[in-house]
Structure 1
Amino acid sequence: MPRLATPLTESQIRALEPRATRYCVADGNGLVIEVMTTGTKVWRFRYTLNGRRQPLATIGDFRMISLRVARAKAQKYAALVEQGISPVATARRDRGAESKADVLREAAELYVASALAGKSDEYRRTTRRALDKDVLPALGNKPIGAVTADDIVAICERIKRRGSPKMALHTRNVVKRLYAYLIARQLATSNPAEVVPARSIATFDSRTRVLSGAEIGVTLRTIDTSNIRRPLKLALHLLVLTMARKSDLIESTWAEFDLDQARWTIPAARLKAREDRVISLPRQAVGLLRELQRARNSERFLFPSVRGDDRPIAKSTLNQAVKALGLDVEHFVLHDFRRTASTHLRELEQQSGVGSDLTTQQEAAADATPQRHMLQSWADFVDSQIDVARQAANGMA
């Protein structure tokens, strides 16, 4: 039996440096990566047949074969060995198939299998859609190094003619990320999408960016299924439901909340205003706050710093969390949550006949019923969009 080894990661393999003599690092189950003196990295399969250690069977170049694929091949070869069959001939045939990875279609398959393995289902789906619908039909059979900036512009122009400038920009960004990955694996030397300016494809006024209902659902579902800390997920969701400013929320204290009355009172002093601001809380927000309350590790702040001192998280924390998610929503910033909520609320207000502007009006306790009703309608709308995104990701929509 092959001896046990700590499984490798793609980043660990990329970081392996050449030495004076070539060497192997084991991944486990017979799979090893051999680092040559030139820096080339080759997957090999180590095995014993008929009681004798055999020469390493070559799986292929790391640049063309992802860790996931290499493991699958090693598992296949191990099954042959268990039957008393040498895997060398099979490995040779497999290498012949892998040699086609010099064209963009094969490179894209490697990218999807390797670089996107840890991304959300929605991120992989939208990336795959851009590749399959527009990029690969036009460029799939072209050598990696032969793709030019003009090719990328031509694809984006075709998408724009369909009336989808945002999709054109998204597709350019997919190609840009694909080539960044290929350059890191030494399969490409330049990035043809990098020299195509985003503004030449589509421009958006950041002061008017409003997320559609579908984008709200996809964004919140991606946040919920991510690996970021649970309190940060709740903070981002609460930004949507309460329409609060980011600083107002992250600096909030437990003393400001009356969860039994579903009310959040932001003191005038903290707002640097003349009056307190009272926000009615929909039941979804109350549920999130009660979860925070049960798990809280600060007597004062809802979102305390992880350093343990008595202060809230930094103002940049939520921005960094969102950036790390790689959300597939173009030109999105956190402030868009507030603008988005305001826009959709006005539509709900028009439908119901309630004419108050809930994003700016100071809410008096004696006249809270219309506002409370509208905020609950907004929270229900958000829930419905998350459900749609969940069903689409599960293949049910």
Structure 2
Amino acid sequence: MLADLYDLICTIDRTVYITGSISTTVVILIAYLTYKLYMPSDLLADMSSKQWNPRQLDRYSEDELPLPQPFGWFAVFDSWTLKPNEAKPVSLFEHQLIVYRNMSGLVHVLEICENSNSIPDIETRVWQSMEMDNLIMVWYHPNNQKPDWLPFPMKLMVDNTFEYRGKCNLIANCCIQEFPENAADFAHFNTVHLPTEVLGIVKWKGMGAKLWDWITKHVYYKWTPLSYDVYPSPNGHMSIQITSATYHAFGRIFAEFTIDMLQIGPALAHVTTKYTLFGMDFTTILVTTVTPLGPYRNSFCHRLYMKPGFLRRVFAKIFIKTVDIMLSRDVLIWNDKKYLRKPLFTKNENSLVKFRRWYKQFLINDHDD
């Protein structure tokens, strides 16, 4: 009798222990998933070679180099990465800069230049900077001319109605112009960005190629360019492109959305994507920047903002990964692409012609001048 009672107590004890362990594990798992859900997703991929590939450089003759480099406002850091009384180095168009935030919160950007004579002579040059859209931005001009225009912040972010939900940051070996020009290249959307993001970046090989084709036939994006326009003076440094898209799955349209891309100078854009799913607003804002890291090596970054909410945070995780996959497809092409100053445009590429005419105002060393 006592032995049976002892066995029963041991069984209950083990059951309580196992149940408690499972409960603790579930609580920890839920806490971890909640933490991951509420934390922004920051994706970074260096898809460049660390140095400019000689094979890529061989595509250009001496007369074609250097590739055109624009002047304008360039993002160097996210604002929250620089604390008061902190300084960080950064390279911009091969200039070595120090970005410093004082105790009052103001940012200063300095360049220290050494003129070596018999005694080293050190000079300091102050670069003009500003903070906007949670970015520290620096004005660059090869002839040290002062800015004649200023970027403006995204209104919805100024009103604090949108929150930061992550970013995708890719590094590539290419001409810096490729990134802003990409949006005006309407033709590539229904080829490079037609396959669903679920398939990944590159087409599968072997037997997987047939599966890729079958999926792409039934699940795909369809892109429709609506307009590309340049703003008149005094806002001639801005252009806007509007595109609509539909997501198709087995003969049905699963989602519809429009994309408004406001380009502000050569290296900053506000990209607003308007989604409505199940009657709920899933509008996203991407603050898009281009930052030169070295000769023909550039960083392209999309920073995502959305309204608060549980479902929107789930959507943001999917959206930023989709942007990362789609941009990676472009970068793979840019890494092996030759920039042409005078390409032959077709009659369907008016948006590219407009873009190049607009972008030319930011170039000093363009060989066509």
Under TM normalisation by the shorter chain, which class is it? under 0.3
Scaled by the length of structure 2, the TM-score of the pair is 0.24
Structure 1 or 2: larger strand share?
A: 2
Structure 1 or 2: larger helix share?
A: 1
Structure with larger Rg: 1
